[in-house]
Amino acid sequence: MTSYRIVCTTQDPPGESHHHAHIVAVGIDDDGDGNADQKMSLGEVLRKLDNNDSFYTIGEHSKKKVFVHDTYCCGKRYIKTNPDDYLDNNLDEIRKCNWKQ
């Protein structure tokens, strides 16, 4: 079982509010510096969740850690953060990934 820290998301369609956009990929921080080291597709995240790996975010300001679970939206399977009292660790509120191709 591995625990992965998500530091950014890629949503589709890009630039839409999270009411209209869905997470299609995330950035994982492997070395604890807060930067995204590897890109992971939504499908890969869901497979790992099914494999008992875990994913979490940490709020930029609150420093609160929250875990991610799967959810259904618009008839498809996605991921979201467990609800807590903080917004800055919410998957829809953390920064968008900015991958250098």
Residues in the site for Zn ion, rule: CB under 5 A? 73-74
- In the complex with Zn ion, the residue whose CB is nearer, 58 or 81, is 81
- In the complex with Zn ion, the residue whose CB is nearer, 13 or 32, is 13
Closest contact distance (angstroms) between CB of 16 and Zn ion is 11
- In the complex with Zn ion, the residue whose CB is nearer, 73 or 87, is 73
Given a contact cutoff of 8 angstroms between Cβ atoms, the answer to whether 10 and 21 are in contact is no
Tokens linked to 94: 């953390």
Neighbours of 90 (CB within 10 A): 17
